[in-house]
């Protein structure tokens, strides 16, 4: 994501990716907040963490996190002309971040705290602390600012609510400086009840059309992705007041809240991004055992899960194949991974990166320890493999 208010700092988030229990091993999670700035230096804050579905390792991992924060700050492979430095520390289990239009950086912590980073560093207390269910991959997972934030102070979050049942929720809060106005929560949308702890999606962003887009996971029930009878495994689109736009593609065939469905056939779209200024919406769909996807966001699309993981073996007119996919196996460690964990377009006003980066989509992989670039202007050509420091959790 790009900080429009402070173009001398180009910011890219490589958020956490969740590996579901279907991977038949403990879900290990790493979150990186990577702040890139050419000429003035490359600033990096990385937090690596690891959990399993039963949280058996949580205490031990607290120690690992400390080690990783220190060790991740050295040894990354950087483009020429870039350097790196720590800009914030003290975050716990960060899941997503977004710049406010005024330049502050808001960071979600899985356990429910929404933190604020300003020039003076990480602020205390949190902007708001939500009573979330943070089991497995649940928790506070997404944040977006209202396009009119500077006037109305509205921001939106995606989190796992605990009452009356466990389910994901999209709510609006009103800011008063670095704190939420008490009791300002306005619930926009309650998703379906959860069973499994994994595949929650959670990214939320406003499109250029002023609508709020919400990425949801299939909750480990792949059939959810192909039905218009629930909101799971989808990309949703709602108005900023929680109402449903009448021009949604399934508005006339789905019922109730399901009219919010904008696209379907997704597995666990933990992150997605709109290109600033328009042009593209890329959805990162975490794969199961074979392929990680970057999908072009198009209204009414069916992205194929679970019939296809990656591009369909036989072209199917009912499904939209990824614009790019990479595999879980192969000989080249620079191109192989296990879970696509984040992406951001580089289209800042007055950016300071070399011109070759403009319009490029950066994406990262959890296990591959790399950041690569996809250039829509060059036929979606993918290049680069900026190796990051091998995360400490690998030694567990």
Write out the residues near Ca ion by the rule CB under 5 A.
303-304
Between CA 100 and CA 98 the distance in angstroms is 6
Residue (128 or 261) nearer to Ca ion, CB? 261
The DSSP call for residue 395 is G
Three-state secondary structure call for residue 322: coil
Phi-psi region of 94 (alpha: psi -120 to 50; beta: other; left: phi over 0): beta
Nearer to Ca ion, 51 or 294 (CB): 294
DSSP for residue 337: -
Nearest residue (CB) to Ca ion, 4 versus 228 = 228
Q: Of 109 and 224, which CB lies nearer to Ca ion in the complex structure?
A: 224
> Which tokens in the block code for residue 54?
């039963």
Q: How far apart are CA 284 and CA 305, in angstroms?
A: 13
Q: How far is the CB of 305 from Ca ion (least distance, A)?
A: 5
The nearest distance, CB 75 to Ca ion, in angstroms, is 34
Distance, C-alpha 246 to centroid of its chain: 27
Residue 300: how many other CB atoms lie within 10 Å: 12
> Residue 231 CB, nearest distance to Ca ion (Å)?
18
Shortest distance (Å) from residue 225 CB to Ca ion: 9
Closest separation between CB of residue 369 and Ca ion, Å? 24
- Who contacts 309 (Cβ-Cβ below 8 Å, separation ≥6)? 267, 287, 288, 289, 290, 291
- Full DSSP string of 120-144: TEE-SS-SEE--B--STT-SEEEEE
- The residue among 218, 298, 312, 220 whose CA lies nearest residue 265 is 218
Query: Min. distance of Cβ 271 from Ca ion in angstroms?
Result: 15
Q: How far is the CB of 283 from Ca ion (least distance, A)?
A: 9
Q: Indicate the residue among 140 and 341 with the shorter CB distance to Ca ion.
A: 341
Residue 126 vs 304, nearer CB to Ca ion: 304
Cβ 96 to Ca ion shortest distance, Å: 22
In this structure, what token pair is assigned to residue 292? 């990680």
**Nearer CB in complex with Ca ion: 171/271:** 271
Q: In the complex, what is the shortest distance from the CB of residue 312 to Ca ion, in angstroms, rounded to a whole number?
A: 8
In 3-state terms, what secondary structure has residue 324? strand
Residue 327: exposure state from Cβ atoms within 10 A (0-12, 13-18, ≥19): middle
Tell me the C-alpha distance between 361 and 346, whole Å: 6
CA Rg value for the chain:
19
19 or 284, CB closer to Ca ion? 284
Peptide bond into 164 cis (omega under 30): yes
Helix (H) or strand (E) holding 325: strand 324-327
303 or 353, CB closer to Ca ion? 303
């Amino acid at each position: 994501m790009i900080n429009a208010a402070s173009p001398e700092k180009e910011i890219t988030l490589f958020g956490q990716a969740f590996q579901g229990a279907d991977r038949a091993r403990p879900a290990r999670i790493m979150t990186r907040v990577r702040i890139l700035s050419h000429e003035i230096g490359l600033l990096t804050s990385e937090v690596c963490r690891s959990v399993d579905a039963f949280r058996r390792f949580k205490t031990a991992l607290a120690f690992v996190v400390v080690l990783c924060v220190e060790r991740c700050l050295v040894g990354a492979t950087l483009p020429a002309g870039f350097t790196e430095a720590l800009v914030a520390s003290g975050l716990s289990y960060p899941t997503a971040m977004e710049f406010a239009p005024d330049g502050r950086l808001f960071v979600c912590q899985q356990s429910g705290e929404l933190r604020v980073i300003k020039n003076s560093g990480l602020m205390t207390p949190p902007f708001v602390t939500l009573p979330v269910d943070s089991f497995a991959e649940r928790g506070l997972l997404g944040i977006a600012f209202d396009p009119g934030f500077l006037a109305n102070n509205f921001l939106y979050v995606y989190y796992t609510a605990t009452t009356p049942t466990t389910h994901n929720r999209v709510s609006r809060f009103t800011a008063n400086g670095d704190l939420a106005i008490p009791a300002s929560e306005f619930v926009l949308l309650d998703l379906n009840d959860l069973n499994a702890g994994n595949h929650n999606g959670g990214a939320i962003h406003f499109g250029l059309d002023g609508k709020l887009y919400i990425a949801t996971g299939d909750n480990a029930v792949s059939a959810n992705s192909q039905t218009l009878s629930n909101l799971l495994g989808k990309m949703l689109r709602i108005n900023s007041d929680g109402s449903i736009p009448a021009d949604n593609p399934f508005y006339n065939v789905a019922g109730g809240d399901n009219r919010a469905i904008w696209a379907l056939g997704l597995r666990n779209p933990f992150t997605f991004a709109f290109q600033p200024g328009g042009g593209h919406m890329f959805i990162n769909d975490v794969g199961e055992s074979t392929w990680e996807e970057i999908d072009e966001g198009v209204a009414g699309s069916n992205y194929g899960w679970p019939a296809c993981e990656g591009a369909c073996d036989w072209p199917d007119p009912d499904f939209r194949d990824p614009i790019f996919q990479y595999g879980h196996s192969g000989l080249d460690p620079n191109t192989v991974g296990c879970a696509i964990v984040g992406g951001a377009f580089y289209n800042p006003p007055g950016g300071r990166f070399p011109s070759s980066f403009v319009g490029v989509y950066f994406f990262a992989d959890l296990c591959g320890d790399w950041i690569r670039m996809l250039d829509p202007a060059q036929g979606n050509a993918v290049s680069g493999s900026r190796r990051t420091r091998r995360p400490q959790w690998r030694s567990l």
